[in-house]
Structure 1
Amino acid sequence: MMRSRNTPIQQKLMKVIMLTSGAVLLLTCSSFFAYELVTFRQSSIRQLSTLGEIIATNSTAALAFDDSTAANEILSALKAERHIVAASLYDAEGKLFSSYRANPTQGAFPIVPEADGYQFTGAYFGGYQPIVQGDKRLGTLYLKSDTGAMYERLKLYGSIALLVVALSFLLAYLLSKNLQHGITTPILALAETAKAISDRHDYSVRAVKQVDNELGVLTDAFNQMLTRIQEQNLALNESSAKIVAFNQRLEQRVAERTAELEASNKELESFSYSVSHDLRAPIRSIHGYANILKEEYASVLDAEAMRLIQTILRNSKRMGQLIDDLLAFSRLGRKELMRFEVSVQDIVHTIVEEQKSIEGDRLIEVKIDNLPNAFADLTTLRQVWINLVSNALKYSRDRERSVVEIGSFEKDQALIYYIKDNGAGFDMKYYDKLFGVFQRLHSQKEFEGTGVGLAIVQRIIAKHGGRIWAEAKLNEGATFYFTLNAMSSPSIAVNEN
């Protein structure tokens, strides 16, 4: 089927004409042979029946007078009919009276005559003819003939038919070879033009119109299509030139804005670092002096003064923690990641044990599933797990039993780590604030914190080329997911700025 699809159109047309001619000739010859066969069989039966009537008429006297010699002479006359292979006469009682064989090897005669009439049986045809004188039946004539005459006639007709078929095929071939040029020449010219355009990408080339029929209409449509393509190509080239120029200007502007943004970020990081660092000293002083008042002057201060000192100590400690978080967040922008293969399983086990010891006697259940190694910076990845584990324990401390589940799974050819708790959770409509700096979804009275921990986590994971997201329901817990590449190759240190 595929070969016939790829056959050149000249050969296809020639094949169509030859196959059509062959089919017509085959049908005609088959019909002719079938007709000849039927008519010849009918004429052969008629001829044999006529011969039988003549022999039967001539044999009445021999049967009437019981003259077997005369009967034998009558049957011997059948030698003139070369296709009669056997004949016999039966008397009125059905006994064999006389017989004739064209060939001594011919088989036996029927013992008794059968029903009158003639019919074909295998390679022979024959039958029985009644011998009647007046109203009295004197006997029966049996004749048997071969079909040699029919086969000779069919052989002659077959030879003539083969000659006619051969001459017809030759004529059809010559006619198809000449006539198909009127169809294929315009199509081949159109194909050559299309190939030249495809090879040279020159849409100014036009096909030559050779006829005014449907192929001429196809040529005109092809040329019109080329005109439109040429116009569109020119417009596209002009647009491409404009786009290239625009892209160049855009790249230049992006480079300028990027440089400005990098400078602004560096200034902002330096400012945050300087402010945080410079605020440390006065906050420490405030905390220190307030602590001195609490320890050395507690006996001379009333309850309101002690409450105020306790407030100063608590807020100065919170401010110190906030400054430390700001410093950690600002350092991430300048930190160089040293990536190598690290055991996430070991990191998480160590952090969980540390956090459990901090929480004291709380009922805590931590389930740690398989955690494949990661190609990451050890220090910052440890900070990610410290923040996530401590948050899970902090926000589930109001539960009778804190349950935390840590594990990993693969999805879309990416390794995903997760940590799930049964804590306070949050409303997903505030999700956009979750990873922002100083953004908190719970009040300070409910859960302490600075609102920087998750921002640090997101920044660390982003520097690793991963992403973090969360799912939660209020009062039903939260699940945090993040991606890092699973690692199986040898340890390689990569210094990444």
Structure 2
Amino acid sequence: MACGAFFAYDLITFRQAMVRHLSTQAQIIGSDSVSALLFNDPQSAENTLSALKAAPNIVSAGIYTPEGQPFAAYWRDGGGQFLTLPPIPSGQTEAYWFKDRQIVLVLSIVFQGKPTGTVYMQSDLQEMYMRLKRYAGIAAIVLSASLLAALLVSAMFQRALAEPIVHLAETARIVSRDKKYSARATPTGNCNELATLIEAFNQMLSQIQERDAALQKAHDELEHRVQERTTQLGAANKELEAFSYSVAHDLRAPLRQIDGFSQILADQCGPQLDLTAQRYLKLVRDGARNMGQLVDDLLNMARIGRQELVRKPTDLNLLLQSALRDLQPEWQGRQVDWRIGNLHTVECDPGLMKLVFVNLLSNAVKYTRRLECAAIEVGQIMLDGAPVVFVRDNGAGFEQQYAHKLFGVFQRLHRTEDFEGTGVGLATVHRIIQKHGGQIWAEAEVNKGATFFFSLAATSHGTSNTNILRQLVSYDPR
């Protein structure tokens, strides 16, 4: 661009200089030809024009009379024809044109204020073209030298800057991809900004390597401690389960004695006791039976905690029907509207999963017994792409704010006087579902029933209550 601008400027300047030079020559010839024109001496005018032989760029020249008739002429090649004189624009004494790779100038000869004749000059542009060629050669040499210098500088720059930067980037990629903090960028050996950057990068890698080693050491120590604590906790759990089993087992014998002798006392001496004594005796027997049931539940929970899962494909519909048959005596004689949907087949322990249905359905039967027409529904919905089984009833329900207490051992949300129970059943269900890697939760409202959900796959039930209710409303057990 710089060369092009320089060429354009020089071309314009040189053309203007040529016009001025040609105009000067025309004025000299016009001045020297005044007398020849006045005295009608063409030979003198031609002698004047012959002086143009010293200017090799002049192709032809001519002197014309005021009427535009040829008077004298000059041709560089020695012969030619008079050309038609171009008109000079009104109000001017000189005009020029560039055409056909030549410049043409016409100058009016004025003597004592009157037009005396006209000078016509035609010059080639060979000098200008030669000048442009010289400039082009110089520009080519300059550009070639500049390109060579640029290549040399580029090579030096590549060795000094580009290659260390590329090596630094490659080292950074290795560190990022392989986590190889022992890698280092090669120093340049110079004292510049790049050397400072590489040194700082290597120092950063050294610090990361030290921190990574310390973190790995801490991780190994923590893992070892966790393993020790896990072993200790497992041993403690086994001891606790064994102790619970032993205590519960040893409690059964005295409880049977209490219940047995209370029965004998009621049978043999019942008629002789007053009503208060009979009521106390009944409370003793009920307490013994409740305590026995609690011991059985604790033994079952301990057994479930020790039991290994035996997973196999299981049709939940068959387990549900079996549980209903086992519970039939509990709801026999009552009006219960059973709504049983179609359940799926899962990989589970059939024995433990049946116990889940027995506990949930037993609770539904128990907490709806005060209703003339109970409704118990079992079905399945999809939540987060996983099947979720639910058991819903229209019984007593509970306050939702206490739902987190449902699955704790001995935790009950109703009085024993209202609904019997030990507070172990739902805790047992919770343990079984957890052993399968699933979740269980409940939603309820007082006097409007409760719904228990469980899934053997993890679901985000905590943020999907609206979706669950919408699916339950549209659920059709058929």
Compute the displacement of 1:305 (Å): 8.7
Q: CA RMSD in A?
A: 5.7
SS at match of 1:407: strand
Which of 388, 408, 414 is the matching residue for 1:442?
A: 414
SS at match of 1:44: helix
Which of 50, 72, 93 is the matching residue for 2:24?
A: 50
Compute the displacement of 1:40 (Å): 1.1
SS at match of 2:382: strand
Equivalent residue number for residue 7 of structure 2:
33
SS at match of 1:338: coil
User: What is the TM-score with the length of structure 1 in the denominator?
Assistant: 0.64
Q: Is the 8 A contact 1:434 1:440 kept in 2?
A: yes
User: What is the TM-score with the length of structure 2 in the denominator?
Assistant: 0.66
CA distance in structure 2 between the aligned counterparts of 1:366 and 1:66, rounded to whole angstroms: 139
* Equivalent AA in structure 1 for residue 17 of structure 2: S
CA distance in structure 2 between the aligned counterparts of 1:74 and 1:371, rounded to whole angstroms: 126
Equivalent residue number for residue 452 of structure 1:
424
* Equivalent AA in structure 1 for residue 380 of structure 2: G
- Spell out, residue by residue over 1:186-223, the C-alpha distance to the aligned partner (whole angstroms, 9 max, x if none): 979x97xx99xx999889x9999966776787798789
Cα–Cα, structure 1 residues 63 and 306, in superposed 2: closer, same or farther, change >3 Å?
farther
**Unaligned stretches of 5+ in structure 2?**
459-478
Which of 329, 340, 346 is the matching residue for 1:374?
A: 346
Q: Is the 8 A contact 1:366 1:404 kept in 2?
A: yes
Q: Is the 8 A contact 1:75 1:87 kept in 2?
A: yes
Matches within 5 A, 1:392-471: 392=364, 394-395=366-367, 402=375, 404=377, 406-411=379-384, 416-421=388-393, 423-471=395-443
More deviation, 343-352/370-379: 343-352
Compute the displacement of 1:317 (Å): 6.5
CA distance in structure 2 between the aligned counterparts of 1:349 and 1:62, rounded to whole angstroms: 142
Equivalent residue number for residue 239 of structure 2:
263
Indicate the percent of aligned positions where both proteins have the same amino acid.
36
* Equivalent AA in structure 1 for residue 109 of structure 2: I
Q: Is the 8 A contact 1:186 1:211 kept in 2?
A: no
CA distance in structure 2 between the aligned counterparts of 1:272 and 1:144, rounded to whole angstroms: 134
Q: Is the 8 A contact 1:84 1:102 kept in 2?
A: yes
SS at match of 2:311: strand
Matches within 5 A, 1:83-98: 83-84=57-58, 92=66
Compute the displacement of 1:158 (Å): 1.6
Q: Is the 8 A contact 1:96 1:112 kept in 2?
A: no
**Unaligned stretches of 5+ in structure 1?**
1-25, 487-497
CA distance in structure 2 between the aligned counterparts of 1:246 and 1:485, rounded to whole angstroms: 30
- Spell out, residue by residue over 1:140-185, the C-alpha distance to the aligned partner (whole angstroms, 9 max, x if none): 555454433222101112212322343455466667878998x669
Which of 92, 95, 109 is the matching residue for 1:131?
A: 109
Cα–Cα, structure 1 residues 243 and 307, in superposed 2: closer, same or farther, change >3 Å?
closer
Cα–Cα, structure 1 residues 360 and 384, in superposed 2: closer, same or farther, change >3 Å?
same
Which of 95, 100, 120 is the matching residue for 1:117?
A: 95
* Equivalent AA in structure 1 for residue 12 of structure 2: V
Q: Is the 8 A contact 1:269 1:333 kept in 2?
A: no
Cα–Cα, structure 1 residues 52 and 429, in superposed 2: closer, same or farther, change >3 Å?
same
